[in-house]
Amino acid sequence: MAKIRITLNKEKRRLDVETNETLLEVLRDKLGMKSPKCGCDRGDCGSCAVLLSGKSVRSCLILAIECDGVEITTLEGISQDGMNKLQEAFIEFSSFQCGYCAPGVIISATELLKANPHPSLDEIKEALSGNLCRCTGYTPIFDAILAATKKEK
């Protein structure tokens, strides 16, 4: 057992973690964050993505003990001040069906739009290449992200 300190969705937290616990396990089971999903638990699907100091990472591949002192943002944190234009666009385009991939997709798209507010379709496809969606065929997801780049907010 080890003590770590993190900033989660702008709130400072201290907690005890087992040395073999993943960040995904700690976020879901100890910190009540239900947006990161466990789709594969081995780095393949992207449904567990969160932002670590602004960079999208797969939380199932990171040990919580490695996160001492870092800033973590989950989808809950992105939505703290209400829905952003990206989330509105996903609703407008009915981009998800089961929604299991949605948190990871939104995290990847958030990272992309921060670095590149007007990406091309190919750049969007590249940014989301690590996010598996088993329902939609991706077109409504890509359409929503493109539409979000044109929205004011």
Give the residue, chosen from 38, 63, 146, 147, that forms a contact with ligand FES under the rule CB under 6 A: 38
Give the residue, chosen from 8, 46, 109, 128, that forms a contact with ligand FES under the rule CB under 6 A: 46
Kindly state whether residue 45 participates in binding ligand FES, applying the rule CB under 6 A.
yes
Round to whole Å and give the CA distance between 105 and 49.
8
Kindly state whether residue 98 participates in binding ligand FES, applying the rule CB under 6 A.
yes
| Strand runs labelled E in the chain | 2-8, 11-17, 49-52, 55-58, 71-73
Give the residue, chosen from 15, 21, 30, 40, that forms a contact with ligand FES under the rule CB under 6 A: 40
Q: What share of the chain is helix, strand, coil (3-state, %, to 5)?
A: 40, 20, 45
Kindly state whether residue 52 participates in binding ligand FES, applying the rule CB under 6 A.
no
Kindly state whether residue 58 participates in binding ligand FES, applying the rule CB under 6 A.
yes
Kindly state whether residue 2 participates in binding ligand FES, applying the rule CB under 6 A.
no
Q: Which two tokens stand for residue 3?
A: 């003590």
Round to whole Å and give the CA distance between 137 and 14.
41
Contact region for ligand FES (CB under 6 A) — 13-21, 40-48, 80-88, 142-150?
A: 40-48
Kindly state whether residue 96 participates in binding ligand FES, applying the rule CB under 6 A.
yes
Contact, 4 vs 67, CB < 8 A? yes
Within 8 A by CB and 6+ apart from 52, the residues are 62, 67, 70, 71, 72
Q: Which of residues 126-145 bind ligand FES (CB under 6 A)?
A: 133-136
Q: Which two tokens stand for residue 20?
A: 């073999």
Contacts with ligand FES by CB under 6 A lie at 38-41, 43-48, 58, 60, 96-101, 133-136
